[in-house]
């Protein structure tokens, strides 16, 4: 019905509501994340994976909505004077990424980053009014289920506007650079081309999710094609119970008897008590 002629706005589209802002307004520090030491990521706890929405490994999707729905991260920072915010670490990492892209002659711009619950309500209602609820649900995250609300997701485009928020972005030189280099800065392509059955969303080569450099690199090396799959392997490892402590064996009847007898003997071995208080075998 509505498929023909509808731009690939999808879940993170916001171009209809906000003009793209160039992220290179201010020169930023050279890419430091590139020299990040290779090391195995610290194993996360189960809480970090399933309960703590402030964790860089928090999973947010239709099946895993934010709680409370109007959750707002505490450490939002502007990204390179773009007017878009991300959480502090993600903001610094994205500035490094954009700077490194410029050095490689790729003019990437930040199109959208943190979106509040209220902003998502407004976006979603706009899509519903235009396309009806069914289609709106397919192209946009319902309020409280958008990864952008975590302050860890960013939509990247080209300064030329070519293929912005469209699948063909993945085939541009900038899109390919992003796919190859994002992990060095702690980002993953959250909705890969063959991941719809697992992620619930179509291919979005422009949508980055920050999970930290160690995990982004570990995920790239792993066989997990999606964040869901990577998160599941971490969760499985976190759930693995430690080897149970060997339970002390209960004493045998003979041991109990022997112990009782030795105690009884002690009672009669002076000097072991204050004789003035008399005997008290009941103690
Ligand atoms: Zn997005």
CA of 28 to the centre of ligand 1 (A): 23
Q: Give 189's strand partners.
A: 208
- Residue 204 belongs to a domain: yes
Q: What is the number of domains present in the chain?
A: 1
CA of 37 to the centre of ligand 1 (A): 28
User: Can you give the pLDDT at residue 265?
Assistant: 53
- Domain limits at 169? 33-239
- Residue 54 belongs to a domain: yes
φ, ψ (nearest 5 deg) of residue 210: -85, 125
Task: Report the CATH number that the domain containing residue 158 is assigned in CATH.
Answer: 3.30.1380.10
CA of 44 to the centre of ligand 1 (A): 25
User: Can you give the pLDDT at residue 188?
Assistant: 98
- Residue 97 belongs to a domain: yes
CA of 32 to the centre of ligand 1 (A): 25
Note whether 156 and 176 are within 8 A (CB): no
- Residue 20 belongs to a domain: no
Pick from 177, 167, 117: which is nearest to 147 by CA? Answer: 117
- Residue 2 belongs to a domain: no
| Residue-level length of the chain | 283
- Give residue 194's region: left, alpha or beta (phi > 0; psi -120 to 50): alpha
User: Can you give the pLDDT at residue 213?
Assistant: 97
Return d(Cα 249, Cα 83) in angstroms, integer: 66
CA of 1 to the centre of ligand 1 (A): 24
User: Can you give the pLDDT at residue 13?
Assistant: 44
- Residue 6 belongs to a domain: no
- Residue 55 belongs to a domain: yes
User: Can you give the pLDDT at residue 151?
Assistant: 97
Per the listing, tokens 């792993």 go with 222
CA of 156 to the centre of ligand 1 (A): 8
Q: Average pLDDT per run of 10 along the chain, which is 283 residues long?
A: 42 43 44 53 87 94 93 97 97 98 97 96 94 82 94 98 96 98 98 91 94 97 94 87 67 78 58 49 50
- Residue 209 belongs to a domain: yes
């Amino acid at each position: 019905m509505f498929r023909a002629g509808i731009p690939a706005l999808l879940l993170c589209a916001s171009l209809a509501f906000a003009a793209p802002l160039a992220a290179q307004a201010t020169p930023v520090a050279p890419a430091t994340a590139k020299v990040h030491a290779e090391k195995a990521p610290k194993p996360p706890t189960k809480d970090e994976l399933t309960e703590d929405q402030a964790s860089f490994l928090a999973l947010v999707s239709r099946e895993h909505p934010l709680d409370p729905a109007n959750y707002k991260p505490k450490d939002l920072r502007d990204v390179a004077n773009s007017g878009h915010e991300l959480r502090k670490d993600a903001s610094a990492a994205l500035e490094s990424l954009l700077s490194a892209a410029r050095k490689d002659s790729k003019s990437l711009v930040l199109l959208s980053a943190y979106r509040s619950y209220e902003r998502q309500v407004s976006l979603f209602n706009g899509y519903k009014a235009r396309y009806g609820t069914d289609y709106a649900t397919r192209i946009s995250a319902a309020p409280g289920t958008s990864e952008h609300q975590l302050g860890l997701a960013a939509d990247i485009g080209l300064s030329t506007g070519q293929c912005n928020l469209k699948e063909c972005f993945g085939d541009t030189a900038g899109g390919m650079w992003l796919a190859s280099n994002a992990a060095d800065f702690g980002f993953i392509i959250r909705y890969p081309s063959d991941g719809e059955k697992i992620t619930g969303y179509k291919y979005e080569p422009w949508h980055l999710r920050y999970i930290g450099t160690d995990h982004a690199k570990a995920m790239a090396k792993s066989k997990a094609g999606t964040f869901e799959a990577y998160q599941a392997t971490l969760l499985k490892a976190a759930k693995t119970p430690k080897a149970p402590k060997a339970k002390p064996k209960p004493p045998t009847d003979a041991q109990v008897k022997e112990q009782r007898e030795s105690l009884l003997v002690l009672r009669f071995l002076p000097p072991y008590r204050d004789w003035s208080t008399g005997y008290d075998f009941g103690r």
